[in-house]
Amino acid sequence: MEGTFSVDKVHHTRVFCVLGIFALVIGVNPVKLPAQQPAAPNLSQHAPQPTQHIDPLARQMLNRAIQGLGGQTFLNAKSLTTKGRVFFFQEGNTAGMQPFVSHVLYPDKRHFSYGKTKPVILINNGMKGWELDRYGLIDQPEQQLKGWILGNRYSLENLLRLRINEPGILIQMGKVDFVDNVPTQGIEIIEPGGTSVRVDLHRQTNVPSRITYRVRNVKEDAWDEYSDAYADYRVVDGIETPMHITRYLNGDRIGETFRGSAIYNEDYPPNEFTAE
């Protein structure tokens, strides 16, 4: 999912980059986002919640995945700072490479800069997003913003911290597969709105090797399948952290990220995730 370059012939050139790691997604195609679960008002706090349907063995496998990633240390991490390089692909060929610095505050804030000189900065805070470059500050295009929201929703961290605990979720055992020639055990997750997610767990270490999800492409009236493959895990601050992430769209590689460094639980300035 990594990047397209678009030229505004009237004003100037802006770079729109698609980054599939650490929940950095800028949409490739218009997508219909899964319905968000609204917070229940106080007067209905005793209303019955949708029942979860979870296969005990699948739940056990997910618990092992969380333990493999660092257990409570993984669950309690509040932020992640990474630096490295991101590659973009178009029609199977490398379209570009950029260095990046990423600040992520869980669950839904990021400050991402890329480029060697006069870097472009992408800022996201929940459902809002901005882009800052040499020409000034603009709102992120709708497609780009939706892509971020979607990718962040199914990031490794948010999937295992939030999604699998939501009301009405269906979780069951999936098939055995291979990711990069390594055997994996699949876990199938179905959300109340019908969105399907599959997480493939490494058969020996239990950590995620791949997360795949299908989303409705409204423009083409079809389903798009996104997939993030996680590799080169290293222990950082007590957490197993993937340093190599490859993103696919409908089976085609569209982005690849190499993290050179990672640090958890750094504090960021108060305005890090605002347009100020």
* Per-residue pLDDT tens digits for 35-89: 554 444 454 455 666 788 999 999 999 999 999 999 999 999 999 999 999 998 8
Q: Which has more confidence, 102 or 36?
A: 102
Does the pLDDT at position 244 exceed 70?
A: yes
pLDDT score recorded for residue 10:
30
pTM for this model (two decimals):
0.82
- Give how far Cα 201 sits from Cα of 80, 167, 257, Å: 22, 23, 20
- The tens digit of pLDDT for each residue in 134-182 reads 899 999 999 889 888 989 999 999 999 999 999 999 999 999 999 988 8
Band (pLDDT 50/70/90 cuts) for residue 128 is very high
- What is the per-residue pLDDT for 15? 38
Secondary structure of 213-272 in HEC code, one letter for each residue: EEEEECCCCEEEEEEEEEEEEEEECCEEEEEEEEEEECCEEEEEEEEEEEEECCCCCCCC
Domains and CATH numbers, the chain: 3-30+50-264 (2.50.20.10)
Distance, in Å, from the CA atom of 50 to the CA atom of 196, rounded to the nearest integer, reads 17
Which pLDDT score is estimated for 153? 94
Per-residue pLDDT at 21 exceeds 60: no
Q: pLDDT (tens digit, 9 = 90+) per residue, 175-210?
A: 999 998 889 999 999 998 888 999 999 999 999 999
